[in-house]
Amino acid sequence: MTPEPANPRYRSESSHKAILDAALRLCLEQGFAKTSVDAIAKEAGVGKQTIYRWWPSKAAVLVEAIDRHAAPTTTFRDTGDIQADLRAQMHAVAEFFQSPQSSTYREVIGAAQSDPAAAQAILERLVKPRVEDCRHRLELARQQGQIRPDAALDDIVELLYAPLYYRLLLETRPITTDHVEAILTLVFEGLRPR
């Protein structure tokens, strides 16, 4: 009896996951600057060419790794109460920003300042989908009369999340759920329909 051949798709998925896990683990242990594609390949048990076949740079690998780690905690629910839904989602973002993985995100954002491909990956994979989710939820709230009809949705998104990113990137003060509450109170005082 001949042994069944290994499933190449499973091998690829397994390698893909191993690379993402290795990249995140190494970056957490030694920082973005000291993490190399060679080290990621060695840690994941794959060849360097496998990484370059799927990603253009280590920053792109880490953007996907961060996305996979953060995605389950950053979705919007719709309870019919926009402030409660934003609170739940922003608390999840604040918790992620307090986690060890946020240091990797901060370093990748820093690297993106001189790496246009990394900047594009962050925008396309991490920022734009989440902004669209938020805009969609805000549009529903506007249709339900929960926020002013003349409020620009993109500006609301920035008003809500810029303070969290400010604290994440500059480490001025801790990111807390109390901070989220303060942001929501300030924003919604101006967003309530008159």
pLDDT value at residue 86? 96
Q: Please check whether residues 53 and 87 belong to one and the same domain.
A: no
CATH number of residue 38's parent domain:
1.10.10.60
Q: Please check whether residues 53 and 30 belong to one and the same domain.
A: yes
Give the Cα separation of 132 and 129 in Å (integer): 5
pLDDT value at residue 73? 66
Alpha-carbon distance values, 84 to 71, 77, 90, 91, 167 (Å): 20, 9, 10, 10, 22
pLDDT value at residue 2? 45
Is residue 62 one of the residues assigned to a domain?
A: no
pLDDT value at residue 75? 78
Is residue 2 one of the residues assigned to a domain?
A: no
- Indicate the number of domains in the chain: 2
- What are the 10-residue block averages of pLDDT along the chain, 194 residues in total? 46 89 95 95 96 91 89 80 95 91 92 90 93 96 94 96 96 94 93 79
Can you give the residue range of the structural domain that contains 119?
A: 67-191
pTM: predicted TM-score of the whole model, two decimal places: 0.85
